[in-house]
Structure 1
Amino acid sequence: MNVFLKGKTVMITGASNGLGAEMARQVAAQGANTILTARRTDKLADLATQIQADYGVVSAYHKMDMTNFEEIEEVMQKIGDTKIDILVNCAGFGIFEEAVTTDFATVERMFDTNVLGLMRLTQLALPDMLARKSGHIINIASQAGKIATPKSSAYSATKFAVLGYSNALRMETKPSGIHVTTVNPGPIATSFFDIADKSGDYLDNVGFLVLKPEKVAAKIVAIMGKPKREINLPFLMNIISRMYQVIPRVIEFFGKGAFEKK
């Protein structure tokens, strides 16, 4: 139980399903009000209604496409004076395809969604947090931002960017009492892979490394309001990514088979 959350407001992007929706349920269960955004409002409306009925908290929702920077600005204007205590940048997508054949328009959309939209929303949320000298920004990155693997060049590049941005932001905002946390999960059993994995085999191929969204959400919710630098999951992938920083050639050589399971 995270007592910090009671009465706080948590804004979550990409909240219509998967990890985002699960976090929304869990923070609401602990007494937090929610602001939910995604491209599809039908699922958001159902989730907001469910949250208000089950937990008796306020749950607002807004259509927001992270590639549409004007829409991001409009949503923040609608939110107005509502104090955002915690911003969770969860929206994102990936495609498993070789660099040479990946459609460049898809690469641009991936960067707009995973990186530039995240940065713009964060930039708009920060002034109020800085003025209050409190707040928590949680950016959902990936183990792909720690170790790049074949068929994930563009996706890995976006997550490396998220990590770099978050690390700099953490140092900039620390004097103002704002926490910045990056979450670096391995594969999570969500609809993410409906788009990312055309073969449909990836989750089966990586087997025991697959994470459940409920457990990932619980770990994120538990650190809300706390100065946690990173959450890295699962344990084995975290160990490998740490080793990669020291002996990259060795890891690439022995990990070749695992890296090519896409």
Structure 2
Amino acid sequence: MNQRMKGKTIIITGASGGIGEQMALKVAENGGNLALIARRLHLLEKLKQTVESKFQTKVEIYPLDVARYEEVPGVFQSIVNDFGVVHGLINNAGYGIFKEAHEAPFQEVKGMFEVNVLGLMACTGEVLPHMREQGFGHIINIASQAGKFASPKSSAYSASKHAVLGYTNSLRMEAARYGVKVSAVNPGPIATDFFSIADESGTYVKNVEKWMLNPHFVAEKVVDALFTNRREINLPRWMNAGSVMYQLFPSFVEKVGNKLFFKK
């Protein structure tokens, strides 16, 4: 058991499936208490039952679409009332749609920013004053390699994750003065239902299936980083090397990788 986590209260958004669900199970395994947020109440209820049947830990569920900003303060106040103190927040809620810029309806673009960026900021804004006051806490924002290395057919999604990384990097410096840690997680493609929305044709999944990350593996890496000084988690390492190469030699990478990028 990870003693850093024992008895701590962790909020996870987007907890009803994928890496959110796996992170919840991992936190509970390590003795942490859970406040789970997602839109799909029936899946939250199922996860709560699983956690309570396997682990001796407190778990409460809160149905919420983080894009409904007016509801965020009330839900987070309920969490504080239920648990007394919040030690960690993992901003995991998010989605993507893979389309070329001229094909993406503005409502889809707006929706991605409302959840991926503004919802994340709204949730962070609710826990940050508490963490600053108590002089302790950890905020982990799930971004993406797409935020470091933009590619065709993901202009809006990449832009939203660029925004998450910019916000996270600024927040890290601000929060450090008060003992609050801030980390970014930049995974490549993960084998979850994310792609049922992002890639309706199944083309991208078919092309990258053998390189997709296991959600349990990603969740383990994220939860193991809680309450440590990890600035970023980049998965897989070879993909992050490509992101670094792109930052150093963007024209070369765009020219050489052009055909490959369009396989999305």
- Report deviation, 1:118: 0.4
Q: How many Å separate the matches in 2 of 1:258 and 1:146? A: 17
Q: 1:42 — aligned with what?
A: 42
Which residue pairs with 2:155 in the alignment?
A: 153
Contact 2:80/2:86, CA 8 A, preserved across alignment: no
1:4, 1:207 → 2: CA distance?
Answer: 35
Is the 8 Å Cα contact of residues 49 and 59 (structure 1) preserved in structure 2?
A: no
- Residues 135, 180 of structure 2: 8 Å contact kept: yes
Aligned counterparts of 1:208 and 1:88: Cα–Cα separation in 2: 27
Residue in structure 2 matching 1:217, options 209, 216, 219: 219
Pairing of 1:74-153 with structure 2 (within 5 A): 74-81=74-81, 82-153=84-155
Separation in 1 of the partners of 2:257 and 2:232?
24
Which of 243, 248, 251 lines up with 1:249 in the alignment? Answer: 251
**1:207 CA drift (Å):** 3.3
Structure 1: unaligned runs, 5 residues or longer: none
TM-fit CA distance, 1:84: 1.3
CA–CA distance in structure 2, aligned partners of residues 73 and 261 of structure 1: 41
2:68 corresponds to which letter in structure 1? N
Please report how far the alpha carbon of residue 254 of structure 1 lies from its aligned counterpart in structure 2 after TM superposition. Answer: 1.2
Q: What is the deviation of 1:173?
A: 0.6
Counterpart position of 2:205: 203
1:194 maps to a residue whose letter is S
Q: Structure 2 length as normaliser, TM-score? A: 0.97
Among residues 192, 195, 214, which one is paired with 1:193 in the alignment?
195
Q: Name 1:54's counterpart in structure 2.
A: 54
Name the SS of the counterpart of 1:88 in structure 2: strand
* 3-state secondary structure, aligned to 1:231: strand
Indicate yes or no: 2:228 matched with 1:229. Answer: no
How far did 1:16 drift?
A: 0.3
Task: Give the letter aligned to residue 37 of structure 2.
Answer: T
- How far apart are residue 140 of structure 1 and its match? 0.2
AA paired with 1:160?
A: H
Give the match's secondary structure for 1:6.
coil
Q: Which runs of 4+ in 1 moved over 2 A?
A: none
Paired with 1:103 and 1:150, the residues of 2 have a C-alpha distance of 16
What is the identity, as a one-letter code, of the residue corresponding to 2:137?
A: G
Task: After TM superposition, list the pairs within 5 Å mapping 1:16-31 onto structure 2.
Answer: 16-31=16-31
Cross-structure match for 2:171: 169
Mapped contact 1:206–1:261 kept (Cα < 8 A): no
Q: 2:218 is aligned with what amino acid?
A: V
Quick one: which amino acid aligns to residue 64 of structure 1? L
Gaps of 5+ in 2: none
Q: 1:32-90: per-residue Cα shift (whole Å, max 9, x none)?
A: 01000000100001101110121011110001101100111110121234311110000
Cα shift readout 1:158-216 (whole Å, capped 9, x = no counterpart): 00000000000000011111111000000000000000002112122013321000000
Residue 63 (1) aligns with residue 69 (2): no
Q: Supply the distance in 2 between the matched residues of 1:45 and 1:207 (Cα, whole angstroms).
A: 30
Q: Distance in 2 between matches of 1:113 and 1:95?
A: 13
Greater CA drift, 147-156 or 78-87: 78-87
